[in-house]
Amino acid sequence: MLGMAIGDAMGAHVEFRPRSFLEQDPVTDLMGGGTWGLKPGQWTDDTSMALCLAISLIVKQG
């Protein structure tokens, strides 16, 4: 889960960008902005939904 959240936060500012953009300007650090105007290190709704699902599975024991 931690790796997912870190990967999501690192890639959030380039979500929906073409491969050519990433080849010219690879992700090497936590940055903000992008499609959603996020702060550096902020994850997207993808991580939020995964965390909600994980918490629900833990609370409901399965």
Query: Would the annotation count 8 as a binding residue?
Result: no
| Cα separation, 45 vs 32, whole angstroms | 15
pLDDT digits (tens, 9 = 90+) for 11-32: 999 999 999 999 999 999 989 9
Query: Would the annotation count 35 as a binding residue?
Result: no
Residue with tokens 């380039």: 14
pLDDT of residue 62: 86
Q: Where are the alpha helices (DSSP H) in 12-44?
A: 19-24
Query: Would the annotation count 47 as a binding residue?
Result: no
Task: Give residue limits of the domains in the chain.
Answer: 2-59
Averaged pLDDT for residues 24-51: 94
